[in-house]
Amino acid sequence: MTRLHLVRHGPTHAKTMVGWSDIPADLSDQAAIARLQNFLPRNAVVVSSDLSRASDTATAIQGTRRRLPHLRDLREIHFGSWELRSYTEIEAEDAELAFAYWDNPGDVRPPNGESWNDVRTRVDAAIDSLVQNYSGADVVVVAHFGVILTQVQRALELDAQQTFAHRIDNLSVTQLGFDGTHWRVGAINHCP
């Protein structure tokens, strides 16, 4: 059984849509970082998105664990023209598209961005590669809200709308396992 420990990066405190923008994480809560570092398996390998909020969080919790190169395919949703804009601004520009994107996630894309299905395809491929290359191991994946939700959706066999009902807090751990055939779900959004 390959065990995935999906960690959401530290908070950015941004009040806008943050996808591929490289905004740093606030890692000042050293007690939370220490709890997370101690909670994760000592023998795990650690991999992260290439965005600094994820890679810096991975560095903060790595300890003596082996670090793998960053993976671009573990990036957050690409919000395209909506990037770094508030929902209010986006809704004022095109309320119908904004509503469709969040209310019926799937093939709807923000201008110049990714649909939910695009993100899921990209992340599934990256996770499949990790599961294949580290079969039977513990893998800590430090990534983003959307990335983690794609794997919750996969493991629980949910539709995208049901998936968005799950909360994924900063510095939380979602634990999934794959035995070569079936996904198993441990904790979702566990905050050590």
Active site residues: 9, 76
Structure tokens at 78: 């690409």
- How far apart CA 159 and CA 116 sit, in angstroms, is 11
Q: To the nearest 10°, the Cα dihedral for 156, 157, 163, 165?
A: -60
Structure tokens at 46: 């650690």
> Rounded to the nearest 10 degrees, what angle do helices 116-133 and 145-156 cross at?
80
Q: Tell me, what amino acid is at 188?
A: I
Among candidate residues 14, 24, 13, 165, the one with its CA nearest the CA of residue 87: 14
Q: Residue-wise over 33-69: b if at least 16 C-beta within 10 A, else e? A: beebbeebeeebbbbbbebbbbbbbbebbbeebeebe
Count of residues making up the chain: 192
